């Protein structure tokens, strides 16, 4: 049976690739997409999710809009207007306007009700700021216990991408992230930059994706090419002309767990540091007394990840 999942996204170029992989992989059953303020403002996140699903023929997947701002802060630690990413996240993705519409329910309400009523295992995969997840935990004390597995894209140990210390998803709403890492989920997996930076997609890979001739391949090529342009201008990788596609690595893990290498350690989130707000504190050397609470990926199989994208986006359904 395909694994059931819900994606919580801030779509975003890499979120869009994750949505397509989840919606088209035959071993996955994407039940819904929920959106959260993040890479772009919430309305754009929702619109981008709808247009991505419609473009690949999966407009049947419902999209529910969630929190428009962090749970406590009025904006990001540094206001959005100052955020610079070299244009890798455009407000509107370069695919046709959607014909489907967002669902009537709020995303947080949908998440609480869905996991409370679930009779089969559903994996929750948040790949944007953790605002919706923290709001669900706050509204329903049993929410974390109702989720059998939480797979998060976010955080960094060695390399931040929005400050020297912090990765964007955690930094964007650090109080929400702190709530999520303190909650009693049965299994929590974190895929940070340390892993996703090892799964870079190149310009030539984009050419191969476009050559597949499917809507998914064409869209992925457009989205990832935009990312490469942004990374080359603002935070170039060791190999110029390449970029990580962070969020899709989480989806790849669901069908091929060996695509990442994890360690079970304690993770906490800094919410008050002057220079370290939003930092994920990984107790890799067991210097603290807190027990391990998260399976953290420190490695990723880049070639296999790229091959998986080409396999799925080249399929007839795409």
Q: For residue 166, give both structure tokens.
A: 């912090």
Distance CA 307, CA 303 (A): 6
Contact assessment for residue 209 and residue 224, using Cβ atoms and an 8 Å cutoff? yes
The residue annotated as part of the active site, out of 10, 54, 85, 247, is 10
Residue 10 a catalytic site member: yes
Q: For residue 31, give both structure tokens.
A: 């039940």
Contact assessment for residue 200 and residue 244, using Cβ atoms and an 8 Å cutoff? yes
b/e sequence 214-240, b meaning 16+ C-beta within 10 Å: bbbbbbbbbbbbbbbbbbbeeeeeeee
Nearest Cα residue to 130 out of 144, 120, 119: 144
Distance CA 40, CA 258 (A): 31
Backbone angles phi, psi at 122, to 5 degrees: -125, 130
Distance CA 63, CA 36 (A): 11
Distance CA 248, CA 217 (A): 14
Contact assessment for residue 166 and residue 277, using Cβ atoms and an 8 Å cutoff? yes
Whether cis (ω within 30° of 0) applies to the bond prior to 9 is no
Contact assessment for residue 312 and residue 21, using Cβ atoms and an 8 Å cutoff? yes
Could you tell me how far CA 221 lies from the centroid of its own chain?
Answer: 18
Active site residues: 10
């Amino acid at each position: 049976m395909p694994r059931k999942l819900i994606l919580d996204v801030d779509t975003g170029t890499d979120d869009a690739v994750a949505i397509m992989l989840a919606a088209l992989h035959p071993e996955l059953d994407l039940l819904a997409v929920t959106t959260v303020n993040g890479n772009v403002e919430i309305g754009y996140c929702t619109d981008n999710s709808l247009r991505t699903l419609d473009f690949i023929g999966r407009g049947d997947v419902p999209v529910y809009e969630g929190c428009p701002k962090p749970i406590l802060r009025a904006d990001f630690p540094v206001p959005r207007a100052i955020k610079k990413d070299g244009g890798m996240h455009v407000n509107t993705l370069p695919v046709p306007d959607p014909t489907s519409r967002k669902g009537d329910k709020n995303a947080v309400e949908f998440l609480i009700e869905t996991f409370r009523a679930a009779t089969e295992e559903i994996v929750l995969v948040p790949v944007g700021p953790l605002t919706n997840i923290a709001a669900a935990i706050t509204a329903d004390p049993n929410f974390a216990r109702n989720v059998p597995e939480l797979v998060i894209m976010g955080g960094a140990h060695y390399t931040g991408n929005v400050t020297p210390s912090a990765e964007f998803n955690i930094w964007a709403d650090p109080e929400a992230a702190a709530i999520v890492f303190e909650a009693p989920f049965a299994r929590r997996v974190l895929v940070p930059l340390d892993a996703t930076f090892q799964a870079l997609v190149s310009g030539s890979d984009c050419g191969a994706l476009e050559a597949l001739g499917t809507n998914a391949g064409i869209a992925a090529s457009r989205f990832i090419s935009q990312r490469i342009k942004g990374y080359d201008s603002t935070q170039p990788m060791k190999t110029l002309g390449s970029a990580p596609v962070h969020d899709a690595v989480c989806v790849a893990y669901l069908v091929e767990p060996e695509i990442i290498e994890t360690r079970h350690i304690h993770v906490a989130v800094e919410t008050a540091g002057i220079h370290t707000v939003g930092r994920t504190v990984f107790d890799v050397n067991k210097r603290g007394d807190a027990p391990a609470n998260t399976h953290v990926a420190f490695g990723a199989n880049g070639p296999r990840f790229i091959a998986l994208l080409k396999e799925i986006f080249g399929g007839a359904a795409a």
